[in-house]
Amino acid sequence: MTSIDDIIKREVNPFDLVNLKSGNFWSENQESESVVESIHQEAIREIEELLDLVEQDHRTRTVLLTGDSGSGKSYLLARLKLKFNSRAFFAYITPWPDNDYIWRHILRYTVDSLIQIPKGQQESQLILWLKSLSAFTKQSLKKRIFNNSLWELLLSDRQNFIKELKKTYKQVGIYNPDIFFGILHDLTDPELYPLACEWLRGDDLSEESMAILKVKHCINSEDAAKNVLANFGKISTDNQPIVLCFDQVESQATWESNPQPIFNINTTIHNDNLRNFLIIISIVQAEWRLKSCRILQSDKARVDKQVILKPINLNQAESLWIYRLNSLHQIANPKPDSPIFPLDKELLEKNFPGGKTLPRNTLILGRYEYQKYKLSTIPTPPPIKTPHPKTEVIDPRTVSIPLVTTPEGTRKISPPPPPPDNIEQVQAEFQLLWQKEYKKNQDKYSKISLLSSPDLIAMLQQTLIALQIQEIKLKLLRGNYASYSLSYQESGKKERVGIVWTEDASMANFFHVMNACQRAIQQNLCHTLYLIRLGGVGTSKLAGNQIYQQIFTHTNHHHIRPNLTSVHYLVTYQNLVNSALSQELVLTSQRRAINLQELQSLIRQSKILHKCTLLQDLGIVAKQEPVKDTGSSKKEDLRPVKDFLVNLVKTQSFMGVPTLIKNSVEQFPNVKANDVQLLIELLCQEKKVKIINPKAKLQDQLICLVA
């Protein structure tokens, strides 16, 4: 039998497991967090009505989704995807880095979403979309049936495949039909599928790759990107709609000065008759009130419906608590009398006297009150009489008595020390959040080229701002590749430093970038130029390589070859920036969302970005000592694991040792449980943590910080 109190002592606070920072619903767990069906049911019904209309007449509709910060807009997008993915294809569009790159950004993230595999399916959305086109189905009164024999016949002959699709869709005006349908055929070949996806998302491919795909050009302009996106809608007008979810709109680079671009895009989609899309634009309600007066009335008219997320009632708030606590209650014996124990509904009534609240506030209150109860589960021993007693007031919420012996000589469990001060607590929680987000990006980005050059430069810009680099200016270069570059003032000097980042595989594009670099140097736009590029620079016979050699051989200009880990640092920080700007970056120890300035302060205090080797190579931060070589070529760096252990204990006050090991192995899959156990022993020797009940069996041991 395991009592609920024993479970509370050893387990992580279940409200800490709530990912209060929103994000791409394809990067998160397929199961929606905190599922309570009654919450926002009216909003879901309103959006479903528009989806029904798009299914019927294939005319694009737009929803403006607004709500207070913490009302659950991003979670609603995830719920919509979970609920309606069998009826529509879902795309998550992140904020774009440059208004000159909008359509290419939308196409890239649409294709990125289409190559995802929906829950319960074996194939990607892209293949499911392709197989459900009318060219490969036969119609019946009740349902459309996939015509496998026609599919197999067309797969064997690329030209016949293109011919059949051109005949089927000749009335809808497909952009570059031979190329587009040829790429669709390549999607059906497992060997060509990755390359075809790269072309569709707008990657710049090498001349060799383009030859394999039988194309002469990549999607290298805004107009081409818009037209390819339109193709998806045009040939699927008897197919399922595509839902484009524009989230965190208020974190767009120019939102403060110019909120118009997202609505320009929406109007263009309607005016140019891009069909079979449902567009959802998600904005914080306060930001919409502030900026809506600056949106052209004609663009507002292109929004079909505004859906406002309302606060939830206390019964729904209680259901959220039940959902989060259920997993603990399931393993308790005996079961608690209340499904929200150790919380109670009076806490909701006291803290939200108006009977309404927001989902985020409900979860933060649950975390705070749960932690208070957890601290009370290890009682304070009675004080020992001494010859010179001192009057002491003890706050029951913070118990801090060392291991003691009672007058009778019976050893008691040593209570944990009080929680760390607020600054330490915030730093610990922030670093845990960073590691969680970082791991997610490690899994998502397996190569640098998955991010565009404008994305990479924008991410680098944000890290430089956080590290207080002065006079940062985008677009050092001129022309088509301006978004690949930036410059800044070198610390303590008058000279400017330029940075150009390109991973374009085409040597023709590389030549143009090198030309632009040479012009920037000749015009004295920077004193030192850094080229960031992992890819090759061509052979000596190529003109681009010859200019490259002139610029970077025996000069004060440098070529840095970045590693993937550095990019994971940049993209992780950028995701946090987007969340902060959207008022969605929550630290539960703060009991609120933190703003961009607070995020920048935390990133400087933690010195997390100092571990980024790209920033070290640029001279932005000092180089760090590498992991000592112990003879193993693949020795795992256990320093992040050690930090994770301490930070998790800090945020929990105390917890079970097995729970600590389990969470560590989940965060670092390459690390074994035995290694984690040895690290815990090392931390005990260093007097950073201690075992509260060292004589208990391992499964019953509790761990806390050393006071």
The 3-state DSSP class for residue 12 equals coil
Shared-domain flag, residues 466 and 529: yes
Shared-domain flag, residues 604 and 650: no
Shared-domain flag, residues 601 and 643: no
pLDDT for res 389: 42
Shared-domain flag, residues 535 and 462: yes
Q: Which long-range contacts (CB under 8 A, 24 or more apart) does 175-184 make?
A: 175/224, 175/227, 175/228, 175/230, 175/231, 176/227, 179/215, 180/228, 180/231, 182/158, 182/213, 182/214, 182/215, 183/213, 183/215, 184/130
User: Using one digit for the tens of pLDDT, what is the confidence trace for 521-575?
Assistant: 999 999 999 999 999 999 999 999 999 999 999 999 999 999 999 999 999 999 9
Total length of the chain: 707
Whether residue 348 is contained in a domain is answered as: yes
Angle of helix 422-444 versus helix 657-667 axis, rounded to 10: 40
Shared-domain flag, residues 578 and 591: yes
Q: Where are the beta strands (DSSP E) in 208-313?
A: 242-246, 277-284, 305-309, 312-313
- Beta strands 470-474 and 356-357, pairing class: unpaired
pLDDT for res 27: 76
∠ Cα 547 553 557 (to 5°): 90
Shared-domain flag, residues 435 and 492: no
Whether residue 437 is contained in a domain is answered as: yes
pTM: 0.89
Q: Are 577 and 462 in contact (CB under 8 A)?
A: yes
Q: Total domain count for the chain?
A: 4
User: Using one digit for the tens of pLDDT, what is the confidence trace for 290-309?
Assistant: 999 999 999 999 999 999 99
Whether residue 688 is contained in a domain is answered as: yes
Shared-domain flag, residues 317 and 354: yes
- Nearest residue to 100 (alpha-carbon basis) of 450, 478, 473: 478
Shared-domain flag, residues 473 and 534: yes
Whether residue 691 is contained in a domain is answered as: yes
Residue 680, domain CATH: 1.10.10.10
Q: Are 195 and 80 in contact (CB under 8 A)?
A: no
Shared-domain flag, residues 557 and 455: yes
User: 81: phi > 0 → left, psi -120 to 50 → alpha, else beta; which?
Assistant: alpha
Whether residue 192 is contained in a domain is answered as: no
Shared-domain flag, residues 455 and 440: no
The 3-state DSSP class for residue 593 equals strand
Whether residue 626 is contained in a domain is answered as: no
Whether residue 55 is contained in a domain is answered as: no
Q: Which stretch of 169-178, 277-286, 684-693 has the lowest confidence by average pLDDT?
A: 169-178
Shared-domain flag, residues 466 and 544: yes
Whether residue 354 is contained in a domain is answered as: yes
At position 640, the amino acid (one-letter code) is P
Mean pLDDT confidence for 503-509:
93
- Nearest residue to 584 (alpha-carbon basis) of 14, 73, 56: 73
User: Using one digit for the tens of pLDDT, what is the confidence trace for 353-377?
Assistant: 999 999 999 999 999 999 999 999 8
Which domain does 662 fall in, by range? Answer: 639-705
Shared-domain flag, residues 571 and 649: no
